[in-house]
A and B are shown apart, each in its own frame.
Chain A
Amino acid sequence: MALDSKVPKGPIKDKWTDYKNHIDLVNPANKRHIDVIVVGTGLAGGSAAATLAELGYNVKAFAYQDSPRRAHSIAAQGGINAAKNYQGDGDSTYRLFYDTVKGGDYRSREANVHRLAEVSANIIDQCVAQGVPFARDYGGLLDNRSFGGVLVSRTFYAKGQTGQQLLLGAYSAMNRQIARGKIEMFNRHEMLDVVKVDGKARGIITRNLITGEIERHSAHAVVIATGGYGNVYFLSTNAMGSNATAAWKIHKKGAYFANPCYTQIHPTCIPRSGDYQSKLTLMSESLRNDGRIWVPAKIEDAQAIQQGKLKPTDLAEEDRDYYLERRYPAFGNLVPRDVASRAAKERCDAGFGVNATGEAVYLDFAAAIERYGKEQAKIQNIDNPSEEKIYELGQAIVEAKYGNLFQMYEKIVDENPYETPMMIYPATHYTMGGVWVDYNLMTTVEGLYCIGEANFSDHGANRLGASALMQGLADGYFVLPYTIGDYLSDDIRTGKIPTDTKEFEEAEKEVKDRIDFFINNKGTKSVDHFHKRLGKVMWDKVGMARNEKGLKEAMAEIKAIREEFWKEVKVPGSANEMNPELEKAGRVADFLELGELFAKDALVREESCGGHFREESVELDGPQKGEAKRNDKDFAFVSAWEYKGEPADAVLHKEELEFNDIELKQRSYK
């Protein structure tokens, strides 16, 4: 099947408006005859479910947690971008569009990104109307901060809990519709397959996670909003339950999977402390606005620190290597995430890491405390303030800005980050890849949509900070409600989709057979055992730096782990009860397939772009020596993979990317 992105004709700035003016609409009386399933109720799914219900559709929504409010979106700390230009610093729709395409290293679809930038301002209006308590300045207007990789302040935030507040906004909108009976909410339900009837998505099979019951649900369209697949690495900043199952199941039923190798490894996470580690904790990127990143300049100092013989605060200024400021004078500590992460890895690989594992760098607030302290002394008219006074004043400002993050750090690491620099190291954080969708956010299966982090759409090979929340809410509040209406306008006479058909029966049987296999298998090893092994291969060979040899090895190793998994996995308990081990088994089985496709995708993409860094593809000389080298001539396409059984047999389809409104350039943050 040829890929058709269905991007509307016309100038980029008019495409979305023209599109909306010309689509088919469903009249309000008919909407009540149409059912829509929304799987996942994070920012993307929650906002979509609420909006579709407001429009009059009957929505059935699903989440594996006990409430929509607990979706992983809740963990987002830093903020959400919008081209409001409240700060008057030159921001505009075009600039947000441009920054996002550039930040994504020219691997995203221009028309989608432009639409995202266009609706971004509406998101803030909508959220404020819902009662989202964004941070404000003393004049009572909304405050902004700046985030990595851009030169304007366009990030709106709610303390360090932006995702939480946005999700609670979408959740409240959902609650209103649940109360009206327009959304039927299925908490603690996991989608285990999609059901196709005559080529169209018409329902799903779910497992009730309390009773173990397998259920059939039908609808006229199905929306997948189940988040990213970062947990393929075992350790990531994702929630423990974050999974790829829904996305992978629809892939197996015909939805192409795009750019699986584009993963974001976030530079500011708390380093790993031991083998028992179950997840990694992000320290918001906003910290890089004020923190300076460094390692010792001399290897002997680094070694002494690793052995616990030297403290960071003992090192004089000239013995510190502020390597980001050194390498990237224009952006310094605010370079995009992929650049910052690789730079940390480079220093640690060279032996300059600052904890016992050698995998950590410092994030230091001493300079910020001093700067803010002096500023405050001036504001408060304190003449000749003492050093202590300056410190006290400065610390208060840093505390007001980042207090909760500092507290979180101290709880985990047991060190006071005001007194000694924080330690950070990169960790898997976000997946730009995902289910391929066209301009309508429809997958290659008719009537099957994919929104939020689960799709591949807007971030190309690298996502800018504070843009995922924006995309999730844009998809759910402002894009999908239009595009899905155009599709559903053909379904006003279809009537209810029956579930007592052979399509539902077959899908249900497949799901049940797999569950029975797990419960009855006489294996010897736990699910986590396999997940950790997969994670190690992914991190070592498909992580921050990749090469041909490693990727080939990774594919073979993942396949071997998968084969062993299906022989040796052990799942206690039964199918007809709450059984967390059984839930994990299903998810890890899917990760074991996705991981191999991931490595294959990375192997095929013989260029470095965004979060995907191929060691074979670097600048050999000139001012950019050693930096990642993109290859637009051969690789300016989206890789969309078609399932053919074994992941290694997947077939590649290319969506060529056209750049008519932005000139392709090498990203330079020097």
Chain B
Amino acid sequence: MNLTLKIWRQKDSNAKGQMVDYKVTDISEHMSFLEMMDVLNEQLVNTGEEPVAFDHDCREGICGMCSMYINGEAHGPDRGITTCQLHMRMFNDGDTITIEPFRAAAFPVIKDLVVDRMAFERIQQAGGYISVNTSGNTQDANSIPISKHAADEAMDAATCIGCGACVATCKNSSAMLFVGAKVSQYALLPQGQVEAADRVKNMVAQMDLEGFGNCTNTGACEIECPKGISLDNIARMNRELMKANIS
């Protein structure tokens, strides 16, 4: 198929950006979206233009690097996937596709479609861990049984890949789904209990400091999240925060 691409180009974080039109031809429906971008970039290199910078690495939906806002949706039109898992069979010959970076005040653009997600790092550093040193004589892994249900739920929360689609999708640029998922993982496990109160307080404080918006329960994040992280995680985080503030 033949396509018109409207792509956000921005030289660096200080430059002003703009949308630029490109044409690509002979795109196979079996290509992934990023392979289509590779075709465009190869074309640009060959004509001596600078290729479009975009983040990507694993190309199988797990590293959380890729981060495009395609036709007004984080990770594009399909559900339950990242940009790298989007396939061209979702588009039709002759389509015009708009491609922008994830936008949020807390995610400044670095170049073209690449954004700075260091705010997520700092939130994790504020409390996204259990304080246990590596020693080689930690107690046996089976000494505390954990119900299968709790373990499975913790796992579901832990599958968040830190991509930031929830933030890019939210009209308030809220990071509640991301933070809620991490808080939940630990809240559901016995190992996470000791530091639970401090963890949630510190992570939420850092989140607010980074300039993410408030959650107004619109639920768009859950729909666009490639890993199906549920809104229940936000509710659990709110409960945890309440508990922490009381105690």
Q: Which A residues fall within an 8 A CB radius of B? A: 47, 50-51, 54, 65-67, 69-72, 74-75, 84, 86, 119, 122, 124-131, 133-142, 158-159, 161, 164-165, 168, 171-173, 175-176, 178-179, 185, 187, 210, 239-241, 273-274, 276-279, 281-282, 407-408, 411-412, 414, 477-478, 481, 526, 528, 570, 572-573, 577-581
A276 and B145 CA atoms in complex are apart in Å by 48
- What are the nearest 10 A-B pairs in CB distance? A140-B145, A172-B129, A133-B155, A128-B141, A133-B154, A125-B138, A70-B63, A239-B57, A136-B151, A179-B125
Cβ–Cβ contact A408 & B61, under 8 A: yes
Query: Does B246 touch A at the CB level, under 8 Å?
Result: no
Contact B158 A411 (CB under 8 A): no
User: Is there a chain A Cβ closer than 8 Å to B77's Cβ?
Assistant: no
User: In the complex, are the beta carbons of A70 and B65 less than 8 A apart?
Assistant: yes
Given contact pairs A70-B64, A240-B59, A274-B31, A131 touches B147 in the complex (Cβ within 8 A): no
Closest chain B residue, CB of each to CB of A524: B46
Is A478 a contact partner of B134 (Cβ separation < 8 A)? yes
Give min CB distance, A518 to chain B, whole Å: 13
Asked whether, in the complex, the Cβ of B159 is within 8 Å of the Cβ of A175, the reply is no
Residues of A within 8 A of B42 (CB): 526, 528
Contact mask for chain B residues 40-82; partner A; CB cutoff 8 A; 1 contact, 0 none: 0010111011110101111111111100000000000010110
Q: What residues on B are CB-neighbors of A124 within 8 Å?
A: 141
Within 8 Å CB of B32, what residues of A? 278, 412
Chain B contacts for A130, CB-based, 8 A: 129-130, 132, 191
Q: Could you tell me if A131 and B59 are in contact, using CB atoms closer than 8 angstroms?
A: no
**Contact surface of B with A, Cβ cutoff 8 Å:** 11-12, 28, 30-32, 34-35, 38-39, 42, 44-46, 48-51, 53, 55-65, 78, 80-81, 85, 87, 89, 110-111, 114, 116-118, 120-121, 124-126, 128-142, 145-148, 151-152, 154-155, 158-159, 161-162, 185-186, 189, 191-192
Q: Chain B contacts of A172 at CB under 8 A?
A: 124, 128-130
- Bound: A126/B49 CA distance, A: 50
Contact B138 A164 (CB under 8 A): no
Rounded to whole angstroms, the CA-CA distance of A176 and B127 in the bound complex is 7
Given A75-B62, A273-B30, answer yes or no on A84-B141 (Cβ-Cβ < 8 Å). Answer: yes
One of B30, B58, B139 near A239 (C-beta < 8 A): B58
A67 near B60: Cβ-Cβ < 8 Å: no
Q: Chain B residues with Cβ under 8 A from A279's Cβ?
A: 59-60
User: A239-B59, A239-B63, A411-B85 known; A580 and B51 CB under 8 Å?
Assistant: yes
A-B contact pairs, 15 of them (CB 8 A): A71-B63, A75-B63, A129-B139, A133-B154, A133-B158, A133-B189, A158-B158, A164-B159, A187-B118, A239-B58, A241-B57, A276-B38, A282-B60, A414-B30, A579-B53
Tell which of A47, A137, A142, A414 touches B141, judged by Cβ atoms closer than 8 Å.
A142
Contact present for B45 and A581 (CB under 8 Å): yes
* Residue of A133, A164, A179 ringed by the most chain B CB atoms within 10 A: A133
**What are the residues of chain A within 8 A of B61 when measuring CB–CB?**
408
Chain A proximity of B165: nearest CB distance (Å)? 15
Contact across chains for B162 and A67 when beta carbons are under 8 A apart: yes
* B126 contacts A125, C-beta separation under 8 Å: no
- Complex Cα gap A528–B41 (Å): 10
Distance between B155 CB and nearest chain A CB, rounded to angstroms: 4
Of the residues A131, A478, A481, contact of B130 by C-beta under 8 Å: A131
Residues in A neighbouring B110, C-beta threshold 8 A: 210, 578
State the CA gap A47–B133 with chains docked (Å). Answer: 11
When the two chains form their complex, are residues A54 and B136 in contact, meaning their CB atoms are under 8 A apart? no
| Residue in B50, B139, B189 whose beta carbon sits within 8 Å of that of A125 in the complex | B139
Q: Which residues of A contact B120 (CB under 8 A)?
A: 67
Q: Which of A47, A51, A185, A526 contacts B45 (CB 8 A)?
A: A526
Cβ 8 A contact of B60, one of A128, A168, A281: A281
> In the complex the two chains form, what is the Cα distance from A411 to B65 in whole Å?
19
| Interface pair B38/A159, CB less than 8 Å apart | no
In the complex the two chains form, what is the Cα distance from A187 to B57 in whole Å?
14
A293 CA to B128 CA, complexed, in Å: 43
Known contacts A67-B117, A414-B89: A577-B28 contact under CB 8 Å: no
- Report which of B121, B132, B147 forms a contact with A140, defined as CB distance below 8 A: B147
In the bound complex, residues from chain B placing their C-beta under 8 Å from that of A278 are: 32, 34-35, 38, 59
A159 to B147, CA, bound (A): 16
Residue of A nearest to B114 (CB): A578
Q: Which one of A158, A164, A187, A526 contacts B46 once the chains associate, using CB atoms below 8 Å?
A: A526
Chain A CB count within 10 A is highest, among B39, B85, B158, for: B158
**A173 and B134 in contact, given A136-B146, A161-B62, A168-B158 (Cβ under 8 angstroms):** yes
B62 touches A129 (CB 8 A): no
A164 nearest in chain B by CB position = B62
Q: Tell me if B53 and A578 are in contact (CB < 8 A).
A: yes
Q: Is the CB of B129 within 8 A of A175?
A: yes
Selected from A50, A179, A414, the residue in CB contact (under 8 A) with B134 is A50
Contacts of A131 in B (CB 8 A): 130, 154, 185-186, 189, 191-192
Complex contacts, B152 vs chain A, CB 8 Å? 133, 136
Among A240, A408, A414, the most chain B Cβ lie within 10 Å of the Cβ of: A240
